[in-house]
Structure formats: C-alpha cells, structure tokens
Amino acid sequence: MSTSLKIGAYGEGILYPPNLQKHTSTIQKAGWDTILIGLYHISTSGEIGFNNEQIISKEKGYFGNKNWAPQLTTLLTGGDVKTLIASFGGGGVGDFNNIKNIYNNNGKSFSGTNLESNFKTFKKTFPMIDIIDMDCEDEYNQDSFVAFCQLLITIGFEITFCPYAPNEIDFWTGSLASLEKSNPGKVLRWNLQCYDGGGSNNPKDWAKAIKKAIPSFNTDGFIWAGDWSRNYNKNRAQWVGNCPPAMQTHLAGFKGEPSIGGAFLWTIDQIEDYSHEQTMNPDPNPCGTITQIEYVQAIKNAFS
C-alpha cells in the first residue's frame, strides 16, 4: 500500500448532534483520514437541509443544532481525521433538479438568489468545512451543475465529484473539462461509487475517459474507489453491501491502478447499526461483530 493512500468514510445522522458526540472518539480512532458528512439537501427555494432537517434559510440564517459546528471542530482534533467534506445530493432527492430550476429561473445565474446567500451562511457557520462533494444522481444538467460548482468555488470551497452511473460518464468528464478551464485544480478528486448502481465501475475506465476529454489532465491519484458496508436496505427489504473481507477482495481488484489515490466507505452509520439491524432482520450471511477499525484495515489490506 502506498503511504499516501487516503481512506475516507461517509456518515449521515451519526455525524449530527446528539449522535456525533457519542461517537466522536470511535470515529477519531478508527483510522479514517477524511469524513464526508451527508447528506445535505437543497430545497426548491434554495434552503439547505441536512437529511430530513432544514438548517439554513435566508430569513433565519443557520438554525440547526447550535452544538454541531463546535463538535465538528472537535472531530478534527486529537485523532486521525484531518478533513471534513459536506456531501450534497444522493439518489431520489431532487437536489440538482432544484439547482437547475433556481439557475434557469434567475436568468441562468445564481447571483442574488437564496441559494447564493445560504451557501455564504454555510461557509461562515462551518469554517472547518472547505470542500463540497457533488453526489449528483437526479438531474444531469451540465450547464447548471458547472455554474453551481463555480458559485461554490467563488465563495471559497473546493469540490469533489461523486459519480456512480456509468452511462453518465460524459456528464462528469464534460463538467470537469469546463471547470478546468474556468477554475483549474479546484476539483480535487472523484469519489467513484463502485457499489450498488455503480457496481460495474472500474477506476481505470473512468481515468481513461477523463484523459480522452482532457488529454493534458493528470489522473494519477485522482480517484477514490468506494464500497458500501454490510447493511439492511429497508426499501428493498434485503441485506446488501460487504463485510470487511468481501470489501477487501472487491477493492483489491483495483490495486495497482495509477489513478487510485484513496478509497472510501458508505457508511459509518451502517457499521454502527449492524448489530441492531441483525436483531430486527437476521442477516442470512452475517459478518459477525464488525467495527470501523476492521473496515479501515480491510481497505488498507486491499491496496497493500
């Protein structure tokens, strides 16, 4: 394993008070370099929410839990976690359709919109978050997507992309090409979903597509490959995802690919909920007792 390999994990409600404080020490000691906080959402009027809770509006400013920002700062101290990223979007949520409509309805601009104002409030409220992750899965409109990224960069954020759909590879490479012209180097990497709907994804194919779109672009270390932990999917009423040994095997298939700079897991919540879910819906192929540390080690082993 390269000593420069980074390891990240997405977390959802576990990263919001009161859950965050209870789990801070465990997350800090697990070995994650990067924590991706998700999922944030954008309403039709440009307000910002976190999962099912609205937290920022133009009228109220930030009105989420007052302890959240201090607790996120604590997460960055005294442990392995060095970087926090805010992830927007996800499947079946409509965030990027809302972004497109706000953009089009404002004369193809975000200037003066609630969205612009609310992201300025976000930046002021969470100075420990410098990166926004684009988990676009619902509206692949390159014009508004690129303009949204440019807005965030102007406010002071850097960007990561989180692609999953193989048939949308041109959207992602085209967006990167546009941003490399207007804001070179501000898209830091791609967090490539290599699980579920992105289960057929291979980083080398995406790196090849980037090089085709931008021949001069250096893809070395640019892609983080992701897998999901074993979890009970309530919508499907079935168990999905990988136990640590299976995750190690899956990610090991990408070993030696120059574009790999790290790997990530979806999600910390699922790891911590695993035992409880087993009691409610027994896993037919159980992992046994699993921990965040075991998943971190599985990722390390995959690339060693």
Q: pLDDT band at residue 199, thresholds of 50, 70 and 90? A: very high
**8 Å CB contact between 277 and 238:** no
Q: Which residues neighbour 248 within 8 Å (Cβ) at sequence distance 6 or greater? A: 298, 299, 301, 302
Whether the predicted pLDDT of 301 surpasses 50: yes
pLDDT the model gives residue 164 = 97
Q: pLDDT band at residue 86, thresholds of 50, 70 and 90? A: very high
- The mean pLDDT value for 101-126 works out to 98
Q: What's the fold here for domain 6-303?
A: TIM Barrel (3.20.20)
pLDDT the model gives residue 78 = 87
CA distance 48 to 58: 10
pLDDT the model gives residue 260 = 98
Domain boundaries, the chain: 6-303
DSSP conformational letter for 163:
-
Give the chain's length. 304
CA distance 132 to 149: 9
pLDDT the model gives residue 1 = 37
Encode pLDDT of 241-282 as tens digits. Answer: 999 999 999 999 999 999 999 999 999 999 999 999 999 999
CA distance 32 to 29: 8
Encode pLDDT of 124-181 as tens digits. Answer: 999 999 999 999 998 999 999 999 999 999 999 999 999 999 999 999 999 999 999 9
pLDDT the model gives residue 113 = 98
DSSP conformational letter for 84:
E
CA distance 146 to 262: 25
CA distance 86 to 105: 26
pLDDT the model gives residue 9 = 98
CA distance 29 to 17: 19
